[in-house]
Structure 1
Amino acid sequence: MYYVSTRSKNHRLTASQAIAQGLAVDGGLLTPEVFPKLSHNGLKTLTDMSYQQRAVYVMNPYLEDFTASELSSFATKAYGPDKFDAREVAPVRTVDGNTHCLELWHGPTCAFKDMALQMLPHLLSASLVKNDEKKTACILVATSGDTGKAALEGFRDVDGTRILVFYPKDGVSAIQQLQMNTQEGENVGVCSVVGNFDDAQTGVKKLFSDEKLRAELAGRGYFFSSANSINWGRVLPQIVYYVSAYCDLVKTEKIQLGDPVNVCVPTGNFGNILAGYYAGQMGVPIRKFICASNSNNVLTDFLRTGVYDRNRRFYNTMSPSMDILISSNLERMLYELSGSSDGEVRGYMDQLAEKGRYEVGDAVKGKLSRYFAAGFCDDAQTQRVIARMWNEHKYLIDPHTAVAFDVLDQYRAETGDDTAAIVVSTASPFKFCDSVLGALGVTDLREGTDILGQLSELTGVSAPAPLAGLAGKEVRFTDNTTKDHMVDKVLEMLK
């Protein structure tokens, strides 16, 4: 199994090389040349496995330079009971007869990014050894809220690594910011960036392509890698939970093996829903991928029209992890739907960089229509959905998950498609206490971490231990910069 750039498929890398490098040298995203298939019998076999065993089974064909024994060890460490508070790791909760919620927030930072970022450090550190890399990997991360903390926690004090996280100032929730700025570890750094997530993400991409900076840091004994979903080592573990969710529905007899399902995913950078698409390509019978956006609905418009246009108003919403106008992982989808045409993808990305927009051809539009549906939900409706889910089902959800539930309702109303659906729940509601409490009618909010207890007292639901443990933690990071001075901040942090 080799990996190639979405913008130039001539240079092939092994899995360990692709994971260590993170981003292709031409700015493209590294993607597998082929996708292995899961047979009907393979899915049946997976149904009786634990989550850890499923992870090894699914990832093994993509990682030919890793042994099954290595992957088994990684999965045991990544998804053990000391990391996740649910035995199933990614449990599926049935909300009503044909609507199920895949809870991806039972890990150490209470967000779905843990599902990949507890595995990635093991894959990366092993990749460095396999490639005989002597320099320290500097993990650069741009975050819209959840990736930053999950990456910091995953790479904390991992040998051979430093990790630097950039997040948009005033663009994450108070709890998300506190999680990052209180992060422990000797190899971690955190800095806010004036602007929005796209400013932070664009800045990080420029750092990767800055040859002068790379040369300077090489002299200091560092090289850049990534923990964002531009790194294949982030996307691959996410495929696992779609396979696992389907198998759990079969195991609990909610569906029969071979029955199709729909999945509805709250989407910002497109990595999460892309992993679902890859699971479908492997053989999981997913009929429709429903992309749920907030008011930053650039993906909704693209999936409906084939025109991607980031030249629009940016909104700061109560679902900040989706406050994104440049969805990096969409590039991998374009590569697949264009028949691996690196030239076509390169043209789209050049247009995006130069004009802020591009329009795909009719062939790609047809495939988008076949596989995807899309909708969006504003903040007012998000609050109504949070309240409805609690009042009708006593099910407490965060704003991102609420967006997905609403868009699924829109899709069903528009199409009449009552196929069993999996709604992907991406974060604990306790990461967004102010928004959830507001949705439940509370206007007098407590300050700091006291707000966690306020939500618990109102609902009778306990706050996850990692969030409850934030009370009294020392704030270690207060640095701020602009996107044009991120290079200076990197040089300062890597003295």
Structure 2
Amino acid sequence: MMSLVSTRTAATASPFEAVLCGLAPDGGLYVPASLPTWTLSQIQDLVGLPYEKAAALILHGFFDEISQEKMEALCAEAYASFSDERRVPVSSIEPGLFAMELYHGPTLAFKDIALQLLPLLMAYSAKATGQKEKSLILVATSGDTGKAALEGFADKPDTAIVVCYPNNGVSPAQKLQMVTQKGGNVCVTAVEGNFDDCQNGVKRLMGDPDFHEMVRQNGYTITSANSINFGRLVPQIAYYFTSYAQLLEQGAIALGEAVDFIVPTGNFGDILAGWYAKKMGLPVGTLICASNKNNVLSRFFETGTYDCGGELYKTTSPSMDILISSNLERLLFELTGQNPAPIQAWMEQRTAEKKFTVDEKTMEKARQDFFAAWADDQAASEAIGTVFHAQHVLLDPHSAVGYCAYQQYKKTKDTKRKAVLLCTASPYKFAATVLEALGRKAEGQEQTARALEKTTGKPVPQAILDLFSAEQRHFSCVEPKELDALVESFLKQS
């Protein structure tokens, strides 16, 4: 059976326990004690498989107490609503560069891959462990996670979900997606502050014994749907394998040929999934970590100092407007040989001083696998225009940041490797930014979406069109310290 360990004390848990509790009791994050391994022959066997079957094979290595047949059924249920039958298709952007299209799920963002499956994994885990309480899912979102989690958990039996997002810190479409969410078990609130205020608020609640007791008295137990949850991370590993298999199928690469992956990331979860894929045996070259102006990660890889004490900038790629990248803790734990002592010290330092410095030996290991770069709004806007006019490929602002990072990588490294850009969201979730990048003025959400469609010939997704006539159902806005009372009130009404 797969065993998981906490990054802070190396306390152990089963995969089911980790999915149900999210954060380890010591405040750490769960990681696999050892990874499943894949041979090139097994990777070749993924070619031509439906996404559900391929994903189930990869997931089964982590959830080995769920039969292969059952895991396939869970994946089939999770991904049935995706608009492309390939689920995560790979297409060409330009010679040598491919797009991994991660936006064909119900909320048009890569988070759907994990968050359509996580509720099913939670339900299975609760049954397997004999959990009697209902699950309260707490979510902090910088934009896409919130709606994807709401869509996954709305009206699921024995669950309630609370999502908090930074007031004025998400795109208009992202906000509309959340505040119009239907469901008898959902609560959505804006929080005065930025994403880190939201994330710290959720972590504070998850670590507060009095809050846990209040939740327990209401018949619930707490977990998270953020990428701190092991069950969020693992489904993301699958699409690195399936994209490689698609490149094999297309004849773009030979078996065993290394491929670079460009990942726009704020919380470091999506790119960490790629690192795990590499350690499992997938031929991954360099993982290119792309940041916006909130470039704490690129500065970290350059200097070895993680400094989250600066100003948080609002950018046109709001899902990456983050200063505390939670999943970096997992990588550092792995690079130190799963030694919790330095992790505990660094995380305590981060809390107390807003920064910490990693030893050079650990940084050397990190730089073997990662290249980090960043781009501001202007550069991303120019990239959207350049790529569309040259290739008729439409990038969202986050993917455009990734494209910019890739250009910097190519200038720095003399590489002939093929590369895959993780395209994390539909451009229509950021229609005004994209339209303006193409030289048109944006006015009103629906008019902007229609104008983008007319300008590009790319149809507006139905999920976006539905928003324009949807009724707003959630209106609250609270201070971070008021989250406790909000959750208590919600549970008493549920």
Q: In structure 2, which of residues 70, 85, 88 is the aligned counterpart of residue 87 of structure 1? A: 85
Residue 50 (str. 1) matches residue 47 (str. 2): no
Aligned length: 491
Q: Which residue of 1 aligns with 2:486?
A: 489
Residue type at the aligned position of 1:329: N
Aligned residue for 1:7, secondary structure, equals coil
**Displacement of 1:399 after TM fit?**
0.2
Native 8 Å contact 1:412 1:418 kept in 2: no
Residue type at the aligned position of 1:13: A
**Displacement of 1:173 after TM fit?**
0.2
**Displacement of 1:338 after TM fit?**
0.7
Q: How does 1:231-242 map to 2 (within 5 A)?
A: 231-242=229-240
Q: How does 1:115-154 map to 2 (within 5 A)?
A: 115-154=113-152
Aligned residue for 2:156, secondary structure, equals coil
**Displacement of 1:69 after TM fit?**
2.1
Q: How does 1:318-467 map to 2 (within 5 A)?
A: 318-443=316-441, 445-467=442-464
**Displacement of 1:49 after TM fit?**
1.3
Q: How does 1:94-113 map to 2 (within 5 A)?
A: 94-113=92-111
Aligned residue for 2:425, secondary structure, equals coil
Q: Which residue of 2 aligns with 1:72?
A: 72
Partners of 2:322 and 2:368 lie apart in 1 by 24
Q: Which residue of 2 aligns with 1:475?
A: 472
CA deviation vs aligned residue, 1:167-202 (integer Å, no higher than 9, x gap): 000000000000000001111110000111000000
Residue type at the aligned position of 2:481: D
Per the normalisation by structure 1, the TM-score is: 0.98
Partners of 2:445 and 2:242 lie apart in 1 by 36
Q: In structure 1, which of residues 159, 162, 169 is the aligned counterpart of residue 160 of structure 2? A: 162
Q: Percent identity?
A: 41
CA deviation vs aligned residue, 1:281-329 (integer Å, no higher than 9, x gap): 1111111010000000000000111110011121000000000000001
In structure 1, the gaps of 5 or more residues are none
Aligned residue for 1:223, secondary structure, equals strand
Partners of 1:122 and 1:491 lie apart in 2 by 25
**Displacement of 1:466 after TM fit?**
1.1
**Displacement of 1:448 after TM fit?**
3.1
Residue 7 (str. 1) matches residue 4 (str. 2): no
**Displacement of 1:154 after TM fit?**
0.5
CA deviation vs aligned residue, 1:143-164 (integer Å, no higher than 9, x gap): 0000000000001111111010
Native 8 Å contact 1:304 1:373 kept in 2: no
Residue type at the aligned position of 1:117: L
Q: Which residue of 2 aligns with 1:26?
A: 26
Residue type at the aligned position of 1:179: Q
**Displacement of 1:449 after TM fit?**
2.9
Aligned residue for 1:275, secondary structure, equals helix
In structure 2, the gaps of 5 or more residues are none
**Greater mean deviation of Cα atoms: 446-455 or 433-442:** 446-455
Partners of 2:36 and 2:463 lie apart in 1 by 37
Partners of 2:148 and 2:446 lie apart in 1 by 19
Partners of 1:94 and 1:455 lie apart in 2 by 21
**Displacement of 1:18 after TM fit?**
0.9
Partners of 2:141 and 2:434 lie apart in 1 by 22
Partners of 2:95 and 2:329 lie apart in 1 by 36
Partners of 1:369 and 1:473 lie apart in 2 by 47
List structure 1 segments (4+ residues) > 4 angstroms apart after TM superposition: none
CA deviation vs aligned residue, 1:56-83 (integer Å, no higher than 9, x gap): 1101011122122221110111112xx1
Partners of 2:328 and 2:489 lie apart in 1 by 33
Aligned residue for 2:45, secondary structure, equals helix
CA deviation vs aligned residue, 1:435-459 (integer Å, no higher than 9, x gap): 001111112x231333221211121
RMSD over aligned Cα, in angstroms?
A: 0.8
